[in-house]
Amino acid sequence: MLQIWLIILVLQLSTAYECSPGNFGKNCEHTCSENCVKDSTICKGTTGECTSGCRPGWRGLQCDMVCSLQKYGKSCSQTCGSCRDHEICHHVNGACFRGCDKGHKGILCNEECEPQYHGYNCADNCSTACINQTCDSIDGTCFGEQMIQEKKFTSEDNILVPIIGGAVGVLSTCLLVVVICLVLRRNKKALDDGNKFHPGDSTNCPKDAALKVQDDGNVNNVYQELKELSQPSIYDSLH
């Protein structure tokens, strides 16, 4: 009979010290965390542990700590996106406070830019100089292959310039030689014609004087034609 009374006394004492819903700890002086799942009144009366787990964005036995860096959501199991300047995201919904870093977009900043855009929040257009107007989503430069092609094209152009210049120079020299030959041939023919003497001519000028005048005129013609050829050549105009 005494044993029965002792059991009843123990049960009454344990009931008397059980905290009411929503409280825990010594003398039930602590309140269960509002971050407990479903109901803030659901926690262990001794430790305050949330028996059903934590709301999104919170962690710990009592759900009193926010998610660690770069984590958010339920059980802090999700990773933040690429927030601007590597800032942390909101521990509950993962939103970035100041927008997305270069090369990313979207509410969670977990989407990459489309090929024609780059920069913060993918707000900048790629240069029209890029092939198909596509570029690196971070700094906006044309893709590596395109840069190599542009560099190769420029190098080939630099090689062709002296080749074309040399060809034009040779062509100009050959043309000059041909012109000089034609001029000399024409002058020689004119000189030969001048050497012919016709007794019936009305002129009384001596033959030597006529030849001298003829020679002076030929020299002047050659000088004038050579002067015209000394003007800037086609090669010079290209430079």
**Residues 56, 73: contact at Cβ < 8 Å?**
yes
pLDDT in tens, 19-39: 888 888 888 889 898 998 876
Task: For the chain, list residues with pLDDT below 50.
Answer: 5, 9-16, 148, 153, 197, 201-207, 209-214, 219, 222, 226, 229, 233-239
Residue in this structure with the two tokens 């570029």, named with its chain if needed: 135
Euclidean distance between CA atoms 119 and 109, whole angstroms: 13
Is the CB of residue 107 less than 8 Å from the CB of residue 141? no
Q: Do 70 and 79 touch, CB atoms closer than 8 A?
A: yes
- Separation between Cα atoms, residue 87 and residue 235, nearest integer Å: 61
**Dihedral of the alpha carbons of 232, 235, 236, 237, in degrees to the nearest 10:** 90
pLDDT the model gives residue 217: 53
| 104 beta partners | 112
Position 161 scores a pLDDT of 57
* Res 172: pLDDT: 76
Distance of CA 192 to the CA centre of its chain: 76
User: φ, ψ for residue 35 (rounded to 5)?
Assistant: -90, 5
Handedness of CA 102, 104, 106, 107 (dihedral sign): negative
Q: What is d(CA 138, CA 230) in angstroms, rounded to the nearest whole number?
A: 57
How far is it, in rounded angstroms, from Cα 121 to Cα 138? 10
| Residue 69, C-beta contacts closer than 8 angstroms, at least 6 positions apart | 88
Domain boundaries, the chain: 19-66, 70-142, 144-196+205-238
* Prediction pTM value: 0.50
